[in-house]
């Protein structure tokens, strides 16, 4: 029950941030950044129907169609997300200030704020409706992947923005979609504070001992062999923090200047020495 409460709190906060992105930056600058909110923005400037009401009017039939065709996979959290985003958008629009008329600034900050909000909603296992439902329906009827469906739906809205506003605004809308998606990924996956390292060396035992004693990190030894030479070699695999990268590279170089080292970003590490599972 406690987790359900925090999930709905996350959906509420996320919907609020998304609505702020729309009302402060995107809608006042005619940036129709894809999705139902983008379509509602275009319709708002053509008919003066409030964006929140229009989003609700579009989302409810999509939700009903989704439930009938795809089953009851959307659930109460989707309905809650749809309603809260629509309500927040229309409540905030008359009272919040428009911070900039610069299209680039509006694109960047609107995309970031909207991405933060949607990222929180998705982390709370919710959704605000929109093109994810459209994408699923497109996938059902055409066989296109969900990603292709999203691209098709968002591209259609951006095209409408280009037709009814101008091409420049449509280009900014496309940039907003990109910023929005990257911010959503960042919220869901987090900043990359850890690194995965693979080390291939002729002195694996000394490097292993150095990592354990100097960095206080565990090491996994993988059995491998050279594809060209056929020579068997141990591959050391280790997860370290970002601040330990320089220390590791210096230590490996001192032990074996000819070692082959790969260092890659890791989005999330669960287990001993890092974030706890659960």
Location of structure tokens 């200047």: 257
Within a domain: 278: no
Render pLDDT for 206-257 as a digit per residue (tens, 0 to 9).
999 999 998 888 899 998 887 777 788 889 999 988 888 899 999 999 999 9
Is residue 180 domain-shared with residue 230, that is, in the same domain?
Answer: no
Render pLDDT for 43-91 as a digit per residue (tens, 0 to 9).
999 999 999 999 999 988 888 877 777 666 567 888 898 999 999 999 9
Q: Give the per-residue pLDDT at 26.
A: 95
Is residue 181 domain-shared with residue 233, that is, in the same domain?
Answer: no
Within a domain: 220: yes
Contact 62, 134 (CB under 8 A): yes
Longest dimension (CA), the chain: 73
Contact 116, 16 (CB under 8 A): no
Is residue 171 domain-shared with residue 241, that is, in the same domain?
Answer: no
Is residue 84 domain-shared with residue 214, that is, in the same domain?
Answer: no
Is residue 185 domain-shared with residue 198, that is, in the same domain?
Answer: no
- Identify the domain containing residue 236 by its residue range: 194-266
User: For 8-17, 28-37, 269-278, which range has the lowest pLDDT when averaged over its residues?
Assistant: 269-278
Q: Give the per-residue pLDDT at 19.
A: 95
Q: What is the mean pLDDT of residues 185-211?
A: 85
Q: Give the per-residue pLDDT at 109.
A: 96
Q: Where are the beta strands (DSSP E) in the chain?
A: 194-200, 220-225, 232-241, 260-266
Residue 274 has pLDDT above 70, yes or no: no
Last residue of a domain, one of 165, 189, 213: 189
Is residue 150 domain-shared with residue 204, that is, in the same domain?
Answer: no
Is residue 160 domain-shared with residue 259, that is, in the same domain?
Answer: no
- Give 268-272's long-range contacts (Cβ < 8 A, gap of 24+): 268/189, 268/190, 268/194, 269/194, 269/239, 272/218
Is residue 166 domain-shared with residue 229, that is, in the same domain?
Answer: no
Is residue 160 domain-shared with residue 221, that is, in the same domain?
Answer: no
What domain count does the chain have?
2
Residue 277 has pLDDT above 60, yes or no: no
Q: Give the per-residue pLDDT at 278.
A: 53
Q: What is the mean pLDDT of residues 23-37?
A: 92
Residue 33 has pLDDT above 90, yes or no: no
Within a domain: 171: yes
Render pLDDT for 152-181 as a digit per residue (tens, 0 to 9).
888 888 999 999 999 999 999 999 988 988
Render pLDDT for 108-154 as a digit per residue (tens, 0 to 9).
999 999 989 988 888 887 888 777 677 767 767 777 765 577 778 88
CATH number of the domain that residue 198 is part of = 3.30.70.120
Within a domain: 275: no
Is residue 79 domain-shared with residue 122, that is, in the same domain?
Answer: yes
CA distances from 1 to 4, 5, 41, 76, 84 (A): 5, 6, 37, 15, 21
Is residue 39 domain-shared with residue 148, that is, in the same domain?
Answer: yes
């Amino acid at each position: 029950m406690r987790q359900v409460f925090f999930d709905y709190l996350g959906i509420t906060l996320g919907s609020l941030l998304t609505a702020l992105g729309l009302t402060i930056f995107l809608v006042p600058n005619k940036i129709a950044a894809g999705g139902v909110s983008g379509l509602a923005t275009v319709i708002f400037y053509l008919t003066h129907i409030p964006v929140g009401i229009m989003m609700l009017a579009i989302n409810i039939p999509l939700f009903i169609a989704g439930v009938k065709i795809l089953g009851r996979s959307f659930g109460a959290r989707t309905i809650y997300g749809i309603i809260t985003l629509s309500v927040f958008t229309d409540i905030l629009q008359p009272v919040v200030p428009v911070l900039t008329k610069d299209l680039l600034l509006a694109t960047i900050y609107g995309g970031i704020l909207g991405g933060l909000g949607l990222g929180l909603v998705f982390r709370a296992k919710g959704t605000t409706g929109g093109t994810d439902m459209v994408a699923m329906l497109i996938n059902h009827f055409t066989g296109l992947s969900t990603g292709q469906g999203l691209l098709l739906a968002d591209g259609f809205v951006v095209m409408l923005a280009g037709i009814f506003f101008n091409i420049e605004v449509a280009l900014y809308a496309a940039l907003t979609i990109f910023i929005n998606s990257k911010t959503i990924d960042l919220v869901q996956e987090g900043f990359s504070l850890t690194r995965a390292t693979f080390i291939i060396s002729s002195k694996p035992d000394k490097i292993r001992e150095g990592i354990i004693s100097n960095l206080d990190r565990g090491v996994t030894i993988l059995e491998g062999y050279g594809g060209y030479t056929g020579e068997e070699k141990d591959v050391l695999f280790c997860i370290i923090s970002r601040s330990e990268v320089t220390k590791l590279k210096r230590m490996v170089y001192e032990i074996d200047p000819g070692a082959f080292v790969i260092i890659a970003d890791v989005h999330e590490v669960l287990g001993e020495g890092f974030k706890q599972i659960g």
